[in-house]
Amino acid sequence: MTIVRGVVAGAVGYVLGAALIMAIRAASGAAAWEVESVTAGAWLFALTGWLLGVGVWRYWARPWFGRPADTYTTTGWRRYFDFDTDHKVIGVQYLITFLTMFFMAGLFAMLMRYELMGVGEDILNSDQYNSIMSLHGTMMVFVAVAATVGAFGNYVLPIMIGADDMAYPKLNALSFWLVPPVLVALTASFLLGGYDTGWTGYAPLSVKNDVGGLFFNLAFFSLGLSSIVGALNIIVTVITMRARGMTWFRLPIFVWSIFVTAILSLIFTQFVGLAMLLVILDRTAGTVFFDPASGGQPLLYQNVFWFYSHPAVYIMILPAFGITLEMVSHFSRKPLFAYRWAVGGLLGIMGMSSVVWAHHMFTSGMAEALRKPFLASTELISIPTGFIFLSALGTLWLGRIRYTVPMLFALGVLFNFLIGGLTGVFLADVPVDIQLQDTYFVVAHFHYVILGGGIFALFGAIYYWFPKMTGRMMNNRLGKVHFWWMMVGFNATFLPMFILGLQGMNRRIADYTPGLESANRAVSMGGFFLGTSFVIFLANFIWSWVKGPPAPDNPWGARTLEWQIPSPPPHENFEIPPIVLADPYGYGEPGSVHADLGGNGRSESLEEGVQA
Amino acid sequence: MTEIAAKAVERSPGVTAIVSLAVLTAVEFVVSSADISGSLAMLTVIALVKAAVILSAFMHLRNVLREEG
Amino acid sequence: MTTTETLPMEHTTSRLQINRIGLWLFFFSETMLFAGILVTRFTLLGTEVHEEVSQTIGLIITAILLASSYTAFRAEHAAHRGDREETTRYLSMTLGLGAVFVAGVAFEWAEAFSAFPPGTEFGTVFFTMTGIHAFHVITGLIFLALLWNNSRQGRYDADAWPVEAGVKYWHFVDVVWVFFYPALYLL
Amino acid sequence: MGNGDHSTTSQTKDRTHSDRQPGRLATVAFIWLLVTVLAEITVAAIEWQPFAASREATISDDAFNLLMVLATPVFTFVIVVGGYALLRDRHRGDDADGPPIRTSRAFIATWLVVTTVLSVVVIITPGFTGLDELRAEPEADLVIDVRAERWSWAYRYADSGVETQGNLMLPINRRVLFRISSTDVIHSFWIPAFRIKKDAVPGQITTTMVTPRKLGSFDNQEEMRVQCAELCGVGHARMFTGVTVVEQDEFDAWLAAAGG
């Protein structure tokens, strides 16, 4: 019902916006109808209409006009299709939406690998290949940017810090409901013939392509809005909603990683919004930002875009670090080694992420003098990144390691990111990068970081928190099969890609020179193997959600707060606000307690002790 | 303190701020039309000062760190 | 959850303070957008300003926007004092000044279309900067209009936060213009 | 596994673990050395790069190979230390927790020093030294204007005014300066065998230099091609032409025949 209202209001907004733009165009003497400017203007109104229709009006905005807000009465599964403000519902909404996007983009990847099995154009022509490749890249980037933060930053983070919800529950719902329009825009772009710029959308190509490209800009813009709103909410939540006694250095490392990610997102997402806006203006309003014939500068786009998109890589990978360290500690049953150094590593990456962007542009024709500083800053960012490995290795050492499925995924992240990180050192070196820029070496490198790191961690997190979210256990054996299948498939796909890149295969091509065929065939075989591993996951995921055995409150014996309450958690999370006494990593320390949840009556001395 | 006196106390920082903003804007205008060297640096400094005036006097930036106000 | 009475969550931070922190973070984020636009402007144009840009209109609309910040300031203080009448009066003054500002920009656009259309280097920057700023002014005016109407009907007598938030947003738009004005007209 | 429910057994275990530490460290160090040596030998034996035909290619390949030598011990360190712990320290049935080691000043200090030194070394060499080498010898013997257009390459030999499309002819051992421009969107001028790449940006002239050191052509070496490396639309994948490097006299003859 909610969605119907949203769609209707969105459609009304679309028509109103289109009419308004056409009226303005007619008034200024231009032809009333011009597809791109009308569409772009109408999109803004459609977005507003959709949000109002989907619940902003009923539950939020009515009091602004002196009327009482509707009371929220939806129950059961329908809540997941409504403007629900419970952070747990929103977390699940995010998870399912982005998993859907992930599998769609994965199918595109399969198509691409099928096309690349042999020389020549087999099932896709270059035009179709470019569209499929661009959509695959765009959707996967969206998943990597938003899935983990949206799903687990929402579901788990408030519980971990002892809060009953996010700081702004309605804003939280708003940030989720901005996501469906992103999917709509991407679908529209696909139906209108796609776009041929890749996810980076470099101008001036992105200014010149068909109307599908406009929808890519609009989708990215909308996702940016959602990210900024969500990040703001997370930052305020962590600053203001922590339980008593939850000091900064008692926060679970996962909370730290999401917090730092949110700060990056809040600062830098504005720049991708700006990049998209400038392209949209060039397409629709006749401005000439990227048209050199009239004084524009094509490289301007790359600078603005990468000023966001390099920090965005950290937006994708920092939550993975948090999840990995969290699991390494709980499943080694040892305190997180060098906790403060790990936090320092996260903060160090955050601090340096704004001064490395031009390493994407070493061959772009930017000023030669800038190469050395950006080479140096990029190599130096490996130092704070190393702290994550320092912490992980120190924690594993002498532990009592339990090979649960989430732990396997965490170890997978460490292995894959090690390769992804080390190859990053190669790419930061200008003489090497000149050759490898825009080749499959780069493709392999960022897949090791984003898929091998970010997405492996996402799946680890799903296995880890599934019992808490659903109250049911996932099948352990199938989980292990999935992990090994995915791990082998992943490495079989992307290790040979490094070789392909070294041999001189450039990225984003449907066809290549004959000498590259055998390696490409190997990569495709690995890719199909990797693709099938997700069938096991899906089967396990769906079956377990419906019929899995009931989960105990704390199946992993972990010490963070979310495991000390029932599975699934009650609406208000905690019966009584918890009081935090120490960090959650006190394994092996006699008498160490993370938090008092107040079940049997809290003593006066505890209340006083917290003040200290 | 009477209500009128209270209003005057409340009004005075606002008046100071708006007057200084007006003066600074006038200075900006003169600096740019006088075509002197270093006007870019001066305009930057003036703009920063104006922003600081609005942030502190009008927007009460300090209150974000305080509980009441 | 059966026998024990549910206690509300305790927070060390008050709702007002939570709201303020969020609002300031939003401004911080928006600052990045406007900083990016300024950098774009200097990248494309260097330190030049078009000669045909109207100094008179620029100075007038700047003065109007600054003046509206003062009336907004008075409105917020009146709201915190619980003075409904004065809040409403100053909000309506702010609304009026804001509307004059938008009218000034519109008038200037009409002139600028022939002098430096969007298809030229300076026109690109000029229309983008004034346009994005005007978009923020118009959203600000919508908020102010809602505030004015609600304040008139006494809905903010108990809680002045909405007025404070709307007015702060208005000030923020003013701060942006403090940087845009010299970048577009003076230099 | 209740919170903080830990008996003395785990503490005695800690002690035995700590007692074994020196032995463990020695074992791990030994394995690491062994694995690293084997890995370095393997890395050195593999030929990573394809056909290299220019002065610049040597610089790039040397940098890559040096980075391989430096990265290998780091990779093996993480794998050996992590792998050793994963095999030796796995959970063996009892419910005890691991020893509560939260920090180790020696380990962290060593880690900090080593990673910082490694980063700085990598920045200086092959980073800065390689860049300086690339930028040395700025005098060109031959200047070629390259024009990229969707989806073809056109060349103009500046001294003789000869214009060609298709195959790019170059003399061996001469310093060549390419002045690259584009008429529509961004392309990238890439010759894999030479390890040079520079974007062709509309409204801008970018430059890159190369000294071919080996004879060859696209017919016998696939890497001898000018390939567009920046996505530029439908024809991007096929936007490549061959490169032929010949002796100077042969080049002169070709240039004369082409109208120079």
Model confidence over D158-183: pLDDT tens digits?
Answer: 999 999 998 999 999 999 999 999 99
Q: So what's the pLDDT on residue A603?
A: 52
Asked if residues C181 and C62 have their Cβ atoms less than 8 Å apart, the reply is yes
Residue A606: the pLDDT is 54
Q: Decide if B26 is inside a domain.
A: yes
C55 contacts in B (CB within 8 Å)?
A: 29, 33
Chains that touch B (3 or more CB pairs under 8 A): C
Q: Does the beta carbon of A335 lie under 8 angstroms from any beta carbon of chain D?
A: yes
What's the gap in Å between the CA of C4 and the closest CA on chain B? 32
User: Nearest CA to CA, how far is C179 from chain B (Å)?
Assistant: 6
Residue B20 in any domain: the answer is yes
Q: Give the least confident one: A264-268, A599-603, D32-36.
A: A599-603
Find, among A475, A466, A324, A329, the residue nearest to A401 by Cα: A329
**A432-451 residues touching C, CB cutoff 8 A:** none
Residue A307 in contact with partner chain C when CB distance is under 8 A:
yes
Mean pLDDT of A172-188: 94
**What type of residue sits at position A266?**
L
Q: What is the pLDDT of residue A30?
A: 81
User: In angstroms, what is the C-alpha Rg of chain B?
Assistant: 16
**CB contact A296 to C (< 8 Å):** yes
User: What CA–CA distance (Å, rounded) separates A212 from D77?
Assistant: 48
Question: How close A296 comes to chain C (CA, Å)?
Answer: 7
Query: pLDDT band for position C12 (50/70/90)?
Result: low
Residue C37 with chain A: CB contacts under 8 Å: 274
Checking if the pLDDT of A169 tops 80, the result is yes
Summarize pLDDT for C148-158 with one digit per residue, the tens. Answer: 999 999 888 88
Per-residue model confidence (pLDDT) at position B11:
74
Average of per-residue pLDDT across D225-233: 94
Give the mean pLDDT of A9-29: 92
**How far away is chain C from the Cα of B9, in angstroms, using its nearest Cα?**
11
Chains that touch C (3 or more CB pairs under 8 A): A, B
- In chain B, which residues have their Cβ closer than 8 Å to the Cβ of C75? none
Distance from CA of A340 to the nearest CA of D (A): 10
Q: Which of C18, C36, C127 sits opposite A271 (nearest CB)?
A: C36
Is residue D241 very low, low, confident or very high in pLDDT (cuts 50, 70, 90)? very high
Backbone angles phi, psi at A154, to 5 degrees: -85, -45
Q: Tell me whether residues C67 and B51 touch, CB distance under 8 A.
A: no
* Interchain CB contact of B24 with C (< 8 Å): no
Is C50 touching B (CB cutoff 8 A)?
A: no
Q: Is the CB of residue A294 less than 8 Å away from at least one CB of chain D?
A: no
Q: What tens digit of pLDDT does each residue of A549-593 get?
A: 999 999 999 999 999 999 899 999 998 889 999 999 999 888 888
Residue A289: per-residue pLDDT: 94
**pLDDT the model gives residue D20:** 62
Please report the pLDDT score of residue C14 as a whole number.
Answer: 84
| Tens digit of each residue's pLDDT (9 = 90 or more) over D115-142 | 999 999 999 989 999 999 999 888 999 9
Residue C4: pLDDT over 90: no
Is residue B6 in some structural domain? no
B19: Cβ–Cβ under 8 A, 6 or more apart, which residues?
A: none
Interval D193-223: pLDDT, tens = 999 999 999 999 999 999 999 999 999 999 9
In this prediction, residues A231-240 reach a mean pLDDT of 95
Query: In chain D, which residue's Cα lies nearest the Cα of A496?
Result: D48
Produce one character per residue of A243-274: b if its CB has 16 or more CB atoms within 10 Å, e if not: bbbbeeebbbbbbbbbbbbbbbbbbbbbbbbb
Task: Answer whether D145 touches A (CB < 8 Å).
Answer: no
Picking from C17, C20, C74, the nearest residue to B14 by CB comes out as C74
ipTM of the complex: 0.91
**pLDDT reading at A268 higher than 90:** yes
- Nearest chain C residue (CA) to B16: C70
> Can chain A be said to touch chain D, i.e. do they have 3 or more Cβ pairs within 8 angstroms?
yes
Which CATH number does the domain C16-44+54-184 belong to among 3.30.1370.100, 1.10.10.10, 3.40.50.620, 1.20.120.80?
Answer: 1.20.120.80
Give dist(CA C183, CA C40) in Å, integer.
11
Domain extent listing, chain D: 18-88+110-135, 142-257
Q: Is the pLDDT of residue D43 over 80?
A: yes
Chain C residues touching A28 at Cβ < 8 A: 113
- SS3 labels along A141-207: HHHHHHHHHHHHHHHCHHHHCCCCCCCCHHHHHHHHHCHHHHHHHHHHHHHCCCCCCCCCCCCCHHH
Contacts of B55 in chain C (CB under 8 A): 171, 175
Q: Quick check: A64 and C127 CB within 8 A?
A: no
- Give the DSSP H or E segment for B39: helix B39-53
Edge-to-edge strand ranges of the sheet holding D168-171: D168-171, D240-246, D225-228, D187-191, D196-200
Per-residue pLDDT of D8-33, as tens digits, reads: 344 444 444 555 677 889 999 999 99
- HSE-up of A548 (CA within 13 Å, CB side)? 25
Chain B CB contacts of C178 under 8 Å are: 47, 50-51, 54
Residue A295 DSSP symbol:
T
Q: How many residues does chain C have?
A: 187
Helix, coil or strand: residue C63:
helix
pLDDT of residue D260: 63
Mutation target to probe the A interface, by most A beta carbons within 10 A, among C1, C29, C41, C150 is C29
Q: Which of C26, C28, C120 sits opposite A294 (nearest CB)?
A: C120
Chain A partners within 8 Å of D101 (Cβ) = 334-335, 337, 394, 397-398
Q: What is the mean pLDDT of chain D?
A: 89
Q: Which of residues 22-81 of A touch C (CB under 8 A)?
A: 28, 64-66
Q: How far apart are CA A317 and CA A263, in angstroms?
A: 14
Rounded CA-CA distance A134/A151 in Å is 25
The answer as to whether B54 is a domain residue is yes
The H or E element containing residue D241 is: strand D240-246
Tokens linked to A132? 């499929």
Beta carbons of C150 and A281 less than 8 Å apart: no
The secondary structure of chain D in percent helix, strand, coil, rounded to multiples of 5, reads 45, 25, 30
- How does strand D168-171 pair with strand D176-182? unpaired
C-alpha B24/C-alpha B3 separation (Å) is: 32
A425 confidence band (pLDDT: 50, 70, 90): very high
The least confident of A53-62, A75-84, B31-40, C81-90 is B31-40
Return d(Cα A401, Cα A322) in angstroms, integer: 18
Q: Which residues contact A525 (CB under 8 A, 6 or more apart)?
A: A492
Pick the CATH number of D142-257 from 2.102.10.10, 3.40.50.300, 2.60.40.420, 3.30.360.10: 2.60.40.420
Contacts of C182 in chain B (CB under 8 A): 28, 32, 43-44, 46-47
| Chosen from A333, A377, A563, A564 to mutate, greatest number of chain D CBs within 10 A | A333
Testing the interface with B: which of C70, C168, C173 to mutate, by most B Cβ within 10 A?
A: C70
Residue contacts between A and C (CB atoms, under 8 Å): 116
Alpha-carbon distance A532 to A133, whole Å? 20
For chains B and C, tell me whether 3 or more CB atom pairs sit within 8 A of each other. yes
- Residue among A389, A397, A429 minimizing CB distance to D85: A397
Percentage above 70 pLDDT, chain A? 98
Q: Which H, E and C letters describe A520-544, residue by residue?
A: HHHHHHHHHHHHHHHHHHHHHHHHH
CATH 1.20.210.10 domain position(s) in chain A: 84-547
Question: pLDDT tens-digit profile of C65-111?
Answer: 999 999 999 999 999 888 899 999 999 999 999 999 999 999 999 88
Tens of pLDDT along D68-120?
999 999 999 999 999 999 999 888 877 788 889 899 999 999 999 999 999 99
CB contacts, 8 Å: A287 with chain C: 118-119, 123-124, 127-128
D contact chains, 3+ CB pairs < 8 A: A
- Residue A540 pLDDT exceeds 80: yes
Q: Which of C17, C181, C182 sits opposite B67 (nearest CB)?
A: C17
Tell me: pLDDT of B67 over 70. no
Measure in Å the smallest separation between the Cα of A478 and chain D Cα atoms. 21
% of chain D surpassing 70 pLDDT: 92
Place B68 in a pLDDT band, splitting at 50, 70 and 90. Answer: very low
Render pLDDT for A300-349 as a digit per residue (tens, 0 to 9). Answer: 999 999 999 999 999 999 999 999 999 999 999 999 999 999 999 999 99
**pLDDT-based confidence at B53, cuts 50/70/90?**
very high
Give the range of the structural domain holding residue B46, as residue numbers without chain letter: 13-61
- Give me the residues of B, 33-62, that contact C with CB < 8 A: 33, 39-40, 43-44, 46-47, 50-51, 54-55, 57-59, 61
- B14 chain-C contacts, CB cut-off 8 A: 70, 73-74, 77
Average pLDDT, chain B: 82
How many domains, in total, are found in chain B? Answer: 1
Q: What is the distance between the alpha carbons of residues C22 and C42, in angstroms, rounded to a whole number?
A: 31
| Amino acid (one-letter) located at A196 | D
DSSP assignment of A378-390 equals: HHHTHHHHHHHHH
In angstroms, what separates the C-alpha of B5 from chain C's closest C-alpha? 14
The mean pLDDT value for A360-364 works out to: 92
Looking at residue A232, what is its pLDDT? 96
Query: Residue A80: which region, alpha, beta or left (left: phi > 0; alpha: psi -120 to 50)?
Result: alpha
Site from B35, B43, B59, B63 to mutate, C interface, most C CB atoms within 10 angstroms:
B59
Tell which CATH architecture fits domain A84-547: Up-down Bundle (1.20)
Q: Give the containing element (helix H, strand E) for A583.
A: none
A81: pLDDT strictly greater than 80: yes
